[in-house]
Chains A and B, each alone.
Chain A
Amino acid sequence: MTERLPVKKTYKLYIGGAFPRSESGRTYEAEGQNVARASRKDVRDAVRAARAAQPGWAAATAYNRGQVLYRLAEMIEARLPEFAELCGGRDEVERAIDRIVWYAGWADKLPQVLGGSNPVAGPYFNFTVPEPTGVVAVLAPDDPPLLGLVTRVLPAVVGGNAVVAVASESRPLAAVELAEALATSDLPGGVVNLLTGFRTELAPVLASHMDVNAIDVTGADGLASDLERLAADNVKRVVHGRADAQSPWEIASFLELKTVWHPMGR
């Protein structure tokens, strides 16, 4: 009796809501699989997709953004055993799901906690609101492969930014799995873009890209200093986060503050 031969997955990039191979045609072997090895050109495509998607995402209602991210949690929960095999196990997946739910709930609360009105001397209603900084590059920590990525991407996305993230280099399969969950979560294509490949090759391209507003170097390993130097070319916000943090202040590090003077009068 012949056993059925399983259909194996091709591990691809996630750019603009689609799953392309690297334009370079390259792969590298990780966790026993051939994984796409993204190129500089793939980075640029991903940034372009992120830039295009960002205004629409930021303009969605806060309620809507919260629901979309909540649905991402639903999508992962449904595939929990599958995710568990690709990371540190069930516990890591559960924590990632719960973290997504936690951040989803922040979408419609941020301005109330991070902004406010300012009692200026004069006939103006003056208020400060947090706004997304724009396109955020994320270098996910190598470990834990799923929770680390979720921990760094979610605070950027919930605030209305679009993200280009470089997955764990040694354990990229969980990120590809996450891309599939993202694709079915109602998150507009391009809001989160996931690249697999070599960090030393991709990170400097992101750090020096003139259309990236902020870079999270939490997973940059020894590269952080060089990346910070490149980031100065367009005064990028450089975020040194923690691989396992959960706080509205993590969201705040990807936000700008806008202050408006609105006139008052009879």
Chain B
Amino acid sequence: MAELDRSGERAPAPPADWTYAPAPESRDVVRLRDRYGLYVGGEWLEPAETYQTISPASEEPLAVVGQATAADVDHAVGAARAAFADGWSSLPGSERAKYLFRIARILQERAREFAVLESLNGGKPIKESRDVDLPLAAAHFFYYAGWADKLEYAFPNRRPRPVGVAGQIIPWNFPLLMLAWKIAPALACGNTVVLKPAETTPLTALLFCDVLRQAELPPGVVNIVTGDGRTGAALVEHDGVDKIAFTGSTEVGKAIQRRLAGSGKKLTLELGGKAANIVFDDCALDQAVEGIVNGIYFNQGHVCCAGSRLLVQESIYEPLVDKLKRRLETLRVGDPLDKNTDVGAINSATQLEKIRELVESGQEEGAEIYQPPCRLPEKGYWFAPTVFTNVAQSYRIAQEEIFGPVLSVLTFRTPDEAVEKANNTPYGLSAGVWTEKGSRILWMAQRLRAGVVWANTFNRFDPTSPFGGYKESGFGREGGLHGLEPYLRFDE
């Protein structure tokens, strides 16, 4: 008794309310330059045209970056070609591996700096850039480093050769991670690279050039050209590029496929999705709710494989939707650099406009909208986590990729119906299944027409695990052994 009394005296006074105090991550780990050029042949080229890149959370200008022209792209491809011919492609795999190992290590060492910059320029929560993007980016380089001198074991009875110069165009949702997914396998296979970061998120790619300097990568092996779609088009159209790897929208992917018709260039496309996240009545309900939240609100829903269509078995529809709505109330939306933030800023004004337009269409078509009460910052681009119920399969919000924190809830009765509805889309990137029954997981996995199937988890990635789509979600795989193939040609 006495002991209890004493501990009572030492206990702090209970807080007046339970709101979180701000927990900002320090920005001073990042030293931004006012102006960045184009990284070509190991040097910074002064661009003829520039634009300003901002923080989507505050609209504050961060730096002036280059808008690479066709001439700049030509210069970069020339540098990549020279580096390819000048030793990189003939360097022993074991030596290429060491450069990649160095890059992996430096990314680990400078992880916090990159994480802060990623959140600053892209708007994603620091919790995610720190705990997901950076560890995975470093791991990706480490994984592919090990392949560089083992390529002949990957494809039985084939003789692998590098393709040449790879032109790579990446999106704004995981800027550094997508850079890693593109550059690591390309270099491991002996190619050289011209990479174009997304227009709105160029800064971590530009900082990555400093990692290349520290790793002493030979000049021209990696070239970074910033700019908008015009820069990407110049890269796609350049005759000196042997392979194009694109991650982005299905619309642009189709345009690239058309443009490359007859060119003989190798092509891989990682495009859009409208993934079904399928919840059976025998699932662990609370775990499923966490998975649903992670599936669609992770990275503000700016995820091509996001679980944007929730398919719930009818018998648990009400308890699940109740729990989901309650969970949404606890999501903290706000400053990406706050360590408590769950949902950050929408990446750009354009994207915010697209989300708004589709959400309006959902309301007009008759779906019921739910948004938890949350105060959004005045400056910057924000959208509250949103759930639509009473959604018909034909609604645009059930068909089109929104690429934002918007979930559409539909129901099913039988496993067959779940499969039918899940596959009823031109996309086929990913799917999720929630059930405690192992045999049902595998039964479902076999029938879902998607490149990645997560069971009792969602949005999980690993460098050893191939990623890529069926149908209009694209072709080719990134990650794992299968991620080498797009960067090799074979003498047979």
A binds B: yes
Cβ-defined contact, A128 with B466, below 8 A: yes
Q: Which of B257, B438, B465, B490 contacts A235 (CB 8 A)?
A: B257
Q: Residue on B with the closest CB to A252?
A: B485
Cβ-defined contact, B261 with A229, below 8 A: yes
Binds B, one of A69-77, A91-99, A117-125: A117-125
Residue-wise interface mask of A (206-237) relative to B, using a CB-CB cutoff of 8 A (1 in contact, 0 not)? 00000001000000000011111101111101
- Count of chain A residues with Cβ under 8 Å from any Cβ of B? 35
Known: A229-B261, A256-B451, A258-B451. A235 touches B269 (CB 8 A): yes
Cβ-defined contact, B445 with A119, below 8 A: no
Does A185 make an interface contact (CB < 8 A)?
Answer: no
Residue-wise interface mask of A (112-152) relative to B, using a CB-CB cutoff of 8 A (1 in contact, 0 not)? 01001011111010101000010000000000000000000
**CB neighbours of B352 from chain A (8 A):** none
Q: Which of A119, A121, A224, A259 contacts B451 (CB 8 A)?
A: A259
Cβ-defined contact, B455 with A261, below 8 A: yes
B258 CB, min distance to chain A CBs, angstroms? 4
Q: Which of A226, A234, A260 contacts B261 (CB 8 A)?
A: A226
**CB neighbours of B261 from chain A (8 A):** 225-229, 231-232
Q: Residue on A with the closest CB to B492?
A: A247
**CB neighbours of B438 from chain A (8 A):** 262
**CB neighbours of B464 from chain A (8 A):** 118-120, 126
Binds A, one of B28-36, B189-197, B338-346, B471-479: B471-479
**CB neighbours of A113 from chain B (8 A):** 156
Residue-wise interface mask of B (435-454) relative to A, using a CB-CB cutoff of 8 A (1 in contact, 0 not)? 00010011001000011111
A244 CB, min distance to chain B CBs, angstroms? 12
- Count of chain B residues with Cβ under 8 Å from any Cβ of A? 48
Q: Which of B466-492 contact A (CB under 8 A)?
A: 466-468, 470-475, 477, 480-482, 490, 492
Does B176 make an interface contact (CB < 8 A)?
Answer: no
CB-based A-B contact count at 8 angstroms: 111
Q: Which of B221-237 contact A (CB under 8 A)?
A: none
Cβ-defined contact, A224 with B262, below 8 A: yes
Does B415 make an interface contact (CB < 8 A)?
Answer: no
Cβ-defined contact, B462 with A121, below 8 A: yes
Does B356 make an interface contact (CB < 8 A)?
Answer: no
Please report whether the interface of chain A is mostly helix, strand, loop or mixed according to DSSP. Answer: mixed
Q: Which of A118, A227, A228 contacts B480 (CB 8 A)?
A: A118
Does B110 make an interface contact (CB < 8 A)?
Answer: no
**CB neighbours of B450 from chain A (8 A):** 258
A162 CB, min distance to chain B CBs, angstroms? 15
Known: A235-B271, A258-B451, A261-B453. A122 touches B258 (CB 8 A): no
Known: A118-B466, A128-B480, A256-B451. A234 touches B457 (CB 8 A): no
**CB neighbours of B490 from chain A (8 A):** 249
Known: A257-B482, A258-B451. A126 touches B462 (CB 8 A): yes
Cβ-defined contact, B258 with A232, below 8 A: yes
Cβ-defined contact, A229 with B462, below 8 A: no
B326 CB, min distance to chain A CBs, angstroms? 25
* Complex Cα–Cα for A256 and B482 (A): 11
**CB neighbours of B482 from chain A (8 A):** 128, 257
Cβ-defined contact, A235 with B453, below 8 A: no
Known: A235-B471, A256-B470. A225 touches B262 (CB 8 A): yes
B449 CB, min distance to chain A CBs, angstroms? 8
Cβ-defined contact, B451 with A235, below 8 A: no
Residue-wise interface mask of B (38-72) relative to A, using a CB-CB cutoff of 8 A (1 in contact, 0 not)? 00000000000000000000000000000000000
A159 CB, min distance to chain B CBs, angstroms? 14
**CB neighbours of A229 from chain B (8 A):** 258, 261-262
* Complex Cα–Cα for A259 and B460 (A): 12
* Complex Cα–Cα for A65 and B134 (A): 45
* Complex Cα–Cα for A118 and B478 (A): 13
Cβ-defined contact, A126 with B457, below 8 A: no
Does B254 make an interface contact (CB < 8 A)?
Answer: yes
Q: Residue on A with the closest CB to B452?
A: A259
Q: Which of A121, A224, A261 contacts B457 (CB 8 A)?
A: A261
Chosen A-B contacts, 6 in total, with CB atoms closer than 8 Å, are: A113-B156, A122-B462, A235-B253, A257-B451, A258-B470, A261-B460
Which residues of B does A touch, CB under 8 Å?
139, 155-158, 250, 253-255, 257-258, 260-262, 269, 271, 426, 438, 441-442, 445, 450-457, 460, 462, 464-468, 470-475, 477, 480-482, 490, 492
